[in-house]
């Protein structure tokens, strides 16, 4: 493993999810970074770390507990998190995305551990450009945004839908090779029509009914404009927006911004690709 290249030392390096190598820090690195005595003495390779963490993951019986383990690992050591996913996709992909991510969204407030991504809501109207500018995300290639209004087949989950943006961003890294520092999960908290969720003790979103159309698009318009100004090359993926918005959003934004709707265009592209490949393999004409 390459030597750590960072200006951070001590506690800062150990709490930086992108630079922390945990037990993979060499003796020389531990001395240079002032973290001697902060880690167990054995120095592990990344492969050894992955093997240990895979055993830990498999020790959990319930998928939601496996999800929590992986989420905690991601907040501590992003390199190890993705190395583990790539080492055993059959163990990890059903946990970080469907089907387990659905349960994780339902229980998002109960299992929330540490912040990931950004939350945009009506209280920030007029300030969204400023929020993006002051965020820790300096270079972004892909943004996944949801308003939680139609999460998988589970209905309106409001701000709990952040779990779906987080999961999809992980897939961009694992399957698309996007750098972990250049993805951004976003929740557009436009309220929720789910009354039981609004009354839940552990719900972390705004406890209001969903915004009227004018206010909803006012916030989303401002967000899309801010993204274009701060990260002009970024692609925005709309994820799990309700049917009454998703088609209108494409019409509203697709000619102005780099954006697409995965549920509409992504699904259509995959089906089309499968059909065209079937035609190619069988040699039968399209007609």
Beta strands in the chain (DSSP E): 118-121, 142-146, 183-189, 235-238, 259-261
Angle between helices 89-96 and 63-76 (to 10 degrees): 90
Residues 6+ apart with CB under 8 A from 156: 148, 149, 150, 192, 193, 194, 197, 210, 242
Please confirm, yes or no, whether 168 is among the known catalytic residues. yes
Q: Do the Cβ atoms of 237 and 166 come closer than 8 Å?
A: no
State both tokens at 229.
């100004």
Residue 150 annotated in ligand binding? yes
| Residue 61, marked binder | no
Separation between Cα atoms, residue 169 and residue 68, nearest integer Å:
17
Q: Smallest Cα–Cα separation from 25: which of 10, 83, 174?
A: 10
Of residues 168, 172, 203, 253, which has the active-site annotation?
168
Q: CA-to-CA distance for 125 and 106, rounded, in angstroms? A: 27
Q: Is 217 a catalytic site residue?
A: no
Catalytic residue among 67, 81, 97, 253: 97
Q: Which residues are catalytic?
A: 97, 168
Binding site per annotation, positions: 150, 239-240, 263
Binding site per annotation, positions for a divalent metal cation: 239-240, 263
Binding site per annotation, positions for (S)-malate: 150
């Amino acid at each position: 493993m390459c030597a750590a290249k960072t200006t951070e030392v001590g506690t800062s390096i150990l709490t930086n999810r992108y630079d922390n190598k945990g037990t993979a820090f060499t003796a020389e690195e531990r001395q240079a970074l002032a973290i001697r005595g902060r880690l167990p003495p054995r120095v592990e390779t990344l492969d050894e770390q992955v093997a240990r963490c895979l055993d830990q993951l498999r020790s959990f019986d319930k998928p939601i507990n496996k999800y929590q383990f992986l989420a905690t690992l991601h907040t501590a050591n992003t390199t190890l998190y993705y190395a583990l996913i790539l080492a055993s996709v059959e163990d990890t992909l059903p946990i970080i995305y469907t089907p387990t991510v659905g349960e994780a969204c339902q229980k998002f407030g109960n299992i929330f551990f540490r912040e990931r991504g950004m939350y945009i809501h009506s209280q920030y109207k007029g300030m969204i450009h400023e929020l993006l500018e002051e965020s820790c995300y300096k270079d972004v290639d892909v943004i996944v945004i949801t308003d939680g209004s139609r999460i998988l087949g589970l209905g309106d989950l409001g701000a709990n839908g952040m779990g779906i943006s987080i999961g999809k961003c992980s897939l961009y890294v694992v399957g698309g090779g996007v750098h972990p520092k250049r993805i951004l999960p976003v929740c557009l908290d436009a309220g929720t029509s789910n009354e039981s969720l609004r009354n839940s003790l552990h719900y972390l979103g705004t406890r209001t009914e969903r915004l009227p159309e004018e206010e909803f698009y006012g916030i989303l318009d401002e967000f899309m404009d801010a993204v274009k100004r701060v990260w002009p090359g970024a692609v925005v993926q709309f994820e799990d927006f309700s049917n009454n918005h998703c088609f209108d959003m494409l019409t509203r934004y697709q000619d102005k911004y780099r954006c697409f709707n995965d549920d509409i265009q992504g699904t259509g592209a995959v089906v089309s690709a499968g059909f065209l490949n079937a035609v190619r393999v069988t040699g039968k004409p399209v007609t």
